[in-house]
Structure 1
C-alpha cells in the first residue's frame, strides 16, 4: 500500500524537504489516489469529502508515531477533502490538510525578489491571516535559500517540526505554507534544518508584525487591517511639514521612560497618546521622534539592537495601539519620526544570525560582519535580498504606520569599512579604500526609493564624520538624505558652554566654527539622548558656575540652538532642566517642575518654539544660503555674538548673545534698517528665572554706523543671556 518513494523513518527524523509530494491526496501512476497524513497520538483517521461530509475511506496506521495512509484504486479525480481524527479528545476532530491549498506567492513575486525590487515584500513574506476555499487560516512564507527543511512550529502543533513542514516555492529560496485554522494571536517560529543537516535554534519570523512578550521570543500572528485611520486631513497637507523651509522642532522621546505608571510599569501607546501628545503640542514642538520602537530583546539597548524589524515593541501595546498613537499625533498636528536601525542587529539565537545555517543576512567575515564596539552583526548590503529586506522595511513603516520620516542610525558605521577598527581588522574595498561601497549604494537606493514613493516624508542621517554631500541628491553624487545631524555643531557648542565663563574668550572659534560649513548640508541641530548618558551628565549639569549660572547657561544653549540655522532636536527632559542623567529604567524627574527655575527653562523652550514657528526669518532659510549673517562674530574679549536671520521676503530678526556672566550696558550693534526694534525674546526675563536685564521691550535705531551698517542699536545685554529683536 505504501508509496515506495516515501521513507517514514527519514520523515520522522526531520529529513523530508517537501512533504507536499507525499502527504495529502495525490494521484498514483496509472490510476487511483493515495492519501497520507501525519497525526501523532491519533487512534483513527478518516478521509472526508469536503462538499458532502461523506467518509470516503479510513486510513490505516502505517507507523506507530502517527503516519496514516491508504490507497483509493477506483478514484481517479482529486477532490476537496479534510481528515477526521479520532483520539485527540473525547470527540472526533476535523483537520484540514495544509498541503491541499495552493501557494499565495506567484511568479511575479519570485521575479521581483530575485531582482531585489519587491518593495511590498511585507505583504508576501511573514504570516498573513487569509481565507482559502472558504477555510480561514494563515499564509506563512520565509526566505531560507540554503535550508534543507523549514517548518512552522507553535502552540498549535506542540512545537513539533514534523507537523507543518513548508514547501519550497520554485527556485526563489522561499518556503511557504497555508495552515488552516490559525488566527491572530497564535504564537509561531520557524524550525530550520540547515543544508549540513543541523537543526538550528528556533527562529523568529524576520517579517513578524508582532512579537511575544519577553522573556518569550516567539512571533505572533497579527492582522494589520484592524485600525481605521482618521488622519486624512493631516496626511493631505503633510508635505508642508517636512519641507526644507518649514519649521521643524523635534522632541526626541524614549517611550519607556518619558513617564511611567504609578506602579512603575510602562505606559501603553494609548496612554502615552493621552499624555505625551498634548504636552508636546503645548510645548510647541512640530514633531516627536521616537527612539527605535522595532522589537528588541534587550530593553537596555533603548531599541538600537532590534530583531523584530516589522513589529512595534509589545512592551507598550499591540501594533494597532501604535497605529492609534501615530494617528492621534497626526490629528493633533504632530509629525512622527522614527529612529530606524539598518546598521546592525544582535546575534541572539532566535534572530537573523546564521538564519538558515549560513551567513544569510550578515557577512561571514567578522572583519566586515561584526561591530567591534557593540558585538552586533552587520547586514550584507551587497546582497540583493538583504537590500530588499531593509528597503521594504523602511517603506513598511511609512506605509502601514503613516510615519513621517526615518532618522537613520549610525550611518558613519555603515559608510566606513574601518569604522572603530584597528589596522588588520578590516577589509579594503575593491579599490583599496576604506569606503563601504555596498553600503553607499544601499543608502542611495534607500533614499531614492523612499522619496519616490513617499515624497512628503523625510530621511535624516545620523552621520558623525565629514562624509560629503550626505543630504544632497544622488543625481549630484550625494547620499540622498533629506537632512543630516550636525554633530560638529553639537560637540563644539557643548564644549564651549561647558567651559568656565572667564575662559570662553580663548575658545571663541568653537562657538562660531559651525557657520564655516553650514551651507554644505541640510542640518538638524541635535541635543539628543546620546549627550545625557554614559557619565556625560545632564545638559544642566554640564553647564559651569553657580546654580543660577547653570540655568542661565542652559537657557543660553537653547536660545543659540533656535537662532542657529538648522532644524531643532531636543531630547526629553532637557526642556525643563532635568538634573540627572537620563535613566531608561525610570521616568523623567517631573517633580522638578515644582521649582521656579525648572519652570522657567520649560517656559523658555515653549516660547522659543513659538518664536521659531512664528517668525519666518528663523526657519525659512534653515537650509538655504542667505538665511544667516554675522553682524559681529569677533568680539572675543566679551564673548559676544551678534547675528541676523533672514526670511525669503526680506524680513529679518536680530539676535545678540552674551556668553559671560557680566551684563553690558550701551552695547552697540549694527542693524540693516532704521526703525524701532521690538525685543521679542529675552532669556534673562524673570519669568524664565532671569534677572530682568533688558531693553524695556523696544529699542529705536540711531543713524550711527556700526559693523558695516548705517544704523545701530544701543543695547543692554543680560548676563549669560540673549536678546532677539525684530523691526516693528
Structure 2
C-alpha cells in the first residue's frame, strides 16, 4: 500500500534544523512553493514558518480555495508547516489559511517566500520555478571595485518609459535602457525597488514580496533577460533593497501567524511613525535569516551586481524619528539598535563570502562610524555609502542667487572635511525631485534681467530659452554637474535629470522625452555624456576617490568671486585640475596655484595646460565664452585661466593630454 506523500516529511531534518535556528543561508530553497515530483507524482511542496499558528492550510486555484482540502503538517518545534499537493503546478495561485493560537481565522496570507505574485490590486502568490543560478561575470566584479569609475543611472523602471499608457515590461527595458545608459557613459543602472509591492505611490519602498520581481514588469524570468542585456552593454545592475520595514497590509507579513512574527512586538520598536509601517524584529534569528537570505537570492538567482540598502539610518537608531519616552534603549542604555547592526554586518559578510565582487551601498544619513569599513575592522561592511551631507549642502549653495553665494561658501568646502571618512557615492537621487521639491533645474536661480542686459551670446539665441533667465538656470546646472563629476566620490544621477527635466518626477507618467528636441535640454544630456567620458578616461578622477592623498585644494577661499579650484591625482597618472565659477561673471586671467606632483611634492604640469571640458561650451548649450580667448598658461608658478560665466572647467597638462585619447 502506498503512503500518502502529503504525510511524509518533506523537509530533510538537517535543513529543518538550520531553518528552525535561523542559520540557513538559502531558506528559499526549502520554504515557499517548489514544484517537484514526489513518489512518482507531480505537484508542489509548500512550506511556511508560522510557529504560533494552531492550524495552517494551503488554499489556491488547485483546490477551489478550500482550507479543508490541504491542511499542512507542523514539523516538531521548528514552527514550520509543510504539505505536498499533487497536481498543483507552476502558474497556480495560492495563499495560506492560518488559524491563530486562539482559534481565530486570519486573513489569507501571501507567501513570504513566493517567487512570483499577482498584479495589484490582487495579491495571491503564484507557483513559480526557482530561478536558475546566475554567476556574476568576472568583468562585472572588476567594474565594482573601489578604484574603478562608478557612475550610476538611477531609475524607476515603471515610469522610465511607458508602453501604450501602461507599464513597460522587462523586454522593452532590455531593448531600450542598456544602449541608452551605456551611450551616456554610465557604468551602472540602479532600479528603485522591483520587489513586489501593493501600493504604487510607495515606488516599491513598501514591499511585501522580497523574493518576487513585481508583476508590473511581467514574469520574473524577464528580469534575468534584462540583467543579461545590461551586462552585454557593459553595465552593472544595482537593485534597491528594503530590509528596514514593511507595510501592514492584512495579506502580508503583519501578525503573520496571529503573533508579531516578523515585526517587533512593542510599537516603540516595531512601528515606524514616519511611514506608518512595521519594523522587522532584527534580533530574531529567523527574521535575520529571511532578510539575509533574500539579499543572497537576488545576487545568486538574478545575477545582479549589488544592492543599495534603503533607510539604513532608520535601522541603526532606536530613537529614529521618536521623541523621548517613545523608544526603548538597547541593553547598554544607548540609542543604537545593536540587533540591526549585527544583521547588516552578517548580511554583508554573507554576500562578500558567497558572491565575490558583489557590492552593497548604504543609504545612511547620519555620522554613524565605519559604514563602509570591513566588518573585520569594526565596520558595517558596506562597500559604499551615500553622501547625503554633500548633497544637502551643495544643493543649498546652488539654490542661492549668485550674488549671495559668497555667504554660503562653506557649504561647498565643508564636504571635504569628511569626504574621505567613508567610500562615498554623491547622490542626486529621486528623493531630491519629489514631494514639491521640484526638478534639479528648478532649484537653480534665474536671472531676472531683461534680454537686452543678458550676455551677447544669450541675446543672439533668444529662441533657445522660455524666459531670458533660463540661460542661467541651465548654466548653473551644467556648472554644478561639472563640480559633482570632479568632486571625490562615486556618482549617481536620477533619470530625467540627465536632460534637465523641468517638472518634478511623476511616478505615474513616462519621462518627458520630447524635451530632448530642445537645444538646451539636449545640451545637458551631451554634457552628462562628456562628463562620464572624462571621469572614466582619467584615472585621477576615480582611482582615489576615498583617499585624501588624491585631492588638493588649489583655491577654496575666494568667497567674493565664488570660485573653487582643486586637483585630483593618483600615482602614475595625469593630474586633473577642476575649476568652478559659480557666478554669471566671467573671470579673465584668473590665477590658480599649480598642483603639487604627488611623487615629488613640487608644482606639476610644466608650462602647457590643455582644456578637457568646459561646461559653457556651445555643444552643451553654453555661451561658448572661451571661443577665441587665450589658452591656459603658466606664469610665476600659477595657472592663468579664462573662466567663463557660471561654468566648470577640467584641465590637464598638455603633455599628459597628448599621451592619451583626444580631449572631450
If the TM-score is normalised by the length of the shorter chain, which range does it land in?
A: over 0.9
Per-residue CA shift, 1:182-239, capped at 9, x if unaligned? 11100000001111111110000000000011221100000134x696xx7x712222
Matches within 5 A, 1:321-400: 321-400=222-301
Matches within 5 A, 1:660-699: 660-671=583-594, 672-673=603-604, 674-694=606-626, 699=631
1:426 aligned to which of 327, 344, 350: 327
2:91 aligned to which of 175, 180, 185: 185
**Cα contact 2:133–2:301 (8 A) shared by 1:** no
Matching residue of 2:544: 621
**Cα contact 1:246–1:620 (8 A) shared by 2:** yes
Matching residue of 1:28: none
The 1-side partners of 2:153 and 2:480 are apart by 16
**Cα contact 2:614–2:648 (8 A) shared by 1:** yes
1:128 aligned to which of 34, 52, 56: 34
Matching residue of 2:600: none
Matching residue of 1:47: none
Are residue 80 (structure 1) and residue 2 (structure 2) matched? Answer: yes
Per-residue CA shift, 1:415-446, capped at 9, x if unaligned? 11111111211111122211111111111111
Matching residue of 2:149: 247
TM-score computed with the length of structure 1 as normaliser: 0.84
1:277 aligned to which of 173, 178, 203: 178
3-state secondary structure, aligned to 1:157: coil
Matching residue of 2:116: 210
CA drift of 1:378 comes to 0.2
1:715 aligned to which of 622, 628, 641: 641
CA drift of 1:403 comes to 1.1
Matching residue of 2:598: none
3-state secondary structure, aligned to 2:288: helix
The 1-side partners of 2:11 and 2:626 are apart by 70
Are residue 595 (structure 1) and residue 518 (structure 2) matched? Answer: yes
Question: How many aligned positions are there?
Answer: 623
3-state secondary structure, aligned to 1:349: coil
The 2-side partners of 1:643 and 1:329 are apart by 34
Are residue 640 (structure 1) and residue 558 (structure 2) matched? Answer: no
The 2-side partners of 1:541 and 1:620 are apart by 33
Q: Unaligned stretches of 5+ in structure 1?
A: 1-78, 82-96, 705-710
Are residue 115 (structure 1) and residue 25 (structure 2) matched? Answer: no
The 1-side partners of 2:101 and 2:572 are apart by 67
Matching residue of 1:238: 140
The 1-side partners of 2:62 and 2:19 are apart by 30
Per-residue CA shift, 1:560-580, capped at 9, x if unaligned? 110011100000000000000
Per-residue CA shift, 1:82-101, capped at 9, x if unaligned? xxxxxxxxxxxxxxx5535x
**Cα contact 1:146–1:194 (8 A) shared by 2:** yes
Matching residue of 2:498: 575
Q: Which 4+ runs in 1 deviate beyond 3 A?
A: 695-701
Matching residue of 2:458: none
3-state secondary structure, aligned to 2:278: coil
The 2-side partners of 1:175 and 1:577 are apart by 53
**Cα contact 1:253–1:288 (8 A) shared by 2:** yes
**Cα contact 1:540–1:551 (8 A) shared by 2:** yes
The 1-side partners of 2:584 and 2:635 are apart by 30
**Cα contact 2:57–2:96 (8 A) shared by 1:** yes
**Cα contact 1:675–1:700 (8 A) shared by 2:** no
Are residue 554 (structure 1) and residue 477 (structure 2) matched? Answer: yes
Matching residue of 2:651: 725
3-state secondary structure, aligned to 2:414: helix
3-state secondary structure, aligned to 2:34: strand
**Cα contact 2:421–2:546 (8 A) shared by 1:** no
3-state secondary structure, aligned to 1:224: coil
Are residue 257 (structure 1) and residue 183 (structure 2) matched? Answer: no
CA drift of 1:260 comes to 0.7
**Cα contact 1:678–1:697 (8 A) shared by 2:** no
**Cα contact 1:677–1:698 (8 A) shared by 2:** no
Matching residue of 1:444: 345
Are residue 200 (structure 1) and residue 102 (structure 2) matched? Answer: no
**Cα contact 2:590–2:643 (8 A) shared by 1:** yes
CA drift of 1:696 comes to 5.9
3-state secondary structure, aligned to 1:519: coil
The 1-side partners of 2:552 and 2:629 are apart by 24
The 2-side partners of 1:133 and 1:331 are apart by 42
Q: Unaligned stretches of 5+ in structure 2?
A: 447-468, 595-602, 655-664
Matching residue of 2:509: 586
CA drift of 1:141 comes to 0.5
Write 1 or 2 for the structure with the bigger share of strand. Answer: 1
The 2-side partners of 1:368 and 1:228 are apart by 37
The 2-side partners of 1:650 and 1:221 are apart by 54
CA drift of 1:171 comes to 2.0
Moved more, 196-205 or 131-140: 131-140
Are residue 143 (structure 1) and residue 49 (structure 2) matched? Answer: yes
Per-residue CA shift, 1:574-616, capped at 9, x if unaligned? 0000000000010111111110000000000000011101110
CA drift of 1:699 comes to 3.7
Per-residue CA shift, 1:629-677, capped at 9, x if unaligned? 1011011110000100112314210111100010011111122321321
CA drift of 1:364 comes to 1.0
CA drift of 1:700 comes to 5.4
1:636 to 1:181, Cα distance in 2 relative to 1, 3 A: same
Per-residue CA shift, 1:130-152, capped at 9, x if unaligned? 11122111111100011111100
1:222 to 1:697, Cα distance in 2 relative to 1, 3 A: farther
Considering only aligned residues, what root-mean-square deviation do their CA atoms show, in Å? 1.4
Per-residue CA shift, 1:336-376, capped at 9, x if unaligned? 00000000000000000000010000011111001001110
Larger RCO, structures 1/2 (Cα 8 Å, 6+ apart): 2
3-state secondary structure, aligned to 2:272: coil
Matching residue of 1:99: 6
**Cα contact 2:483–2:578 (8 A) shared by 1:** no
TM-score computed with the length of structure 2 as normaliser: 0.92
**Cα contact 1:429–1:436 (8 A) shared by 2:** yes
The 1-side partners of 2:199 and 2:15 are apart by 34
The 1-side partners of 2:62 and 2:21 are apart by 35
1:153 to 1:98, Cα distance in 2 relative to 1, 3 A: farther
**Cα contact 1:679–1:697 (8 A) shared by 2:** no
Larger radius of gyration: 1
Matching residue of 1:401: 302
The 1-side partners of 2:404 and 2:213 are apart by 48
**Cα contact 2:94–2:127 (8 A) shared by 1:** yes
Matching residue of 1:487: 388
